[in-house]
Structure 1
Amino acid sequence: MMDYRDVIIRPIITEKSMKLMAEDNKVTFEVAKGVNKIEVRQAVEALFHVDVVSVNIMNVKPKTRRVGRFVGKTNHVRKAIVKIKEGQTIDLFGEE
C-alpha cells in the first residue's frame, strides 16, 4: 500500500471546484494513477481528519495543444471529487 501523501498529489483549485466546495461541501484532488476509491477515502480521512461521505474518481484525457507549428499534448490527470460530512471543512488555503 502507498503512503497517504503519495495517494493525494494536490488539490485542484478552479472556479468549478470552488463552487462545488461552497455549495455541496465537495473537494477536488488530483490523485495518483491506479488508486481506487477506498484508498482515496482512507488518505483524505487520515490527512485532513474529516469524515468522507462519498468519493467519485474520473480520468481526464490529455488535450492536443499547439504553439505555432509545434503540436503536443497536455498531461493525463486522475481526479477525485470527495464529499465531506456536513459541518466539516478542509482548509486548503491555511486560513485560521
Structure 2
Amino acid sequence: MKPTDILIKPILSEKANAQQEKLRRYTFKVVRAANKLQIKQAIEAFYGITVVDVNTVVVPGKNKTRYTKAGFIKGKKSSYKKALVTVAEGDTIDLYANI
C-alpha cells in the first residue's frame, strides 16, 4: 500500500496541537484496516522523518439529533481509526505548510 492509501488526514485540534508542542506526538486519521507497522512506514515515507512510537485508537461513532421545522432528524457519525505518532527528537512535521 502507498502512504496516501493509509493516511487520510491529520487531525488539527487544541489537544492535538498541545501534544505536538509538548510530546512531539502528531495525530492522524487513518484507514481502519491499517496496523501500527503500516502506519509507521507510511509516515516515514510520506514525511521523511523517524517515527519512535505509534498508538492507535478506534473512535466510536456517535448518535446525533437535530431539531428542524419538520421535526427531529436522527443520524449517526461514523467511527474511524486515529493514530498517535511520536517522532524522534529533533524531527518535526509542518502540518500547516499547505494551508
Assess same fold via TM > 0.5. yes
The answer to whether structure 1 residue 49 and structure 2 residue 48 are counterparts is: yes
Percent identical among aligned pairs is 35
Q: Give the structure with higher Rg (CA).
A: 2
Runs of 4+ displaced beyond 6 Å: none
RMSD between aligned residues: 1.0
Normalization by structure 2: what TM-score? 0.92
How many residues in Structure 1 have an aligned counterpart in Structure 2?
94
Distance in 2, matches of 1:89 and 1:78, equals 22
The alignment partner of 2:86 has SS state of: strand
The unaligned stretches of length 5 or more in structure 2 are none
Q: Which residue of 1 aligns with 2:77?
A: 74
The unaligned stretches of length 5 or more in structure 1 are none
Say which of 79, 88, 93 aligns to 1:90.
93
Distance in 1, matches of 2:16 and 2:89, equals 17
Distance in 1, matches of 2:2 and 2:44, equals 13
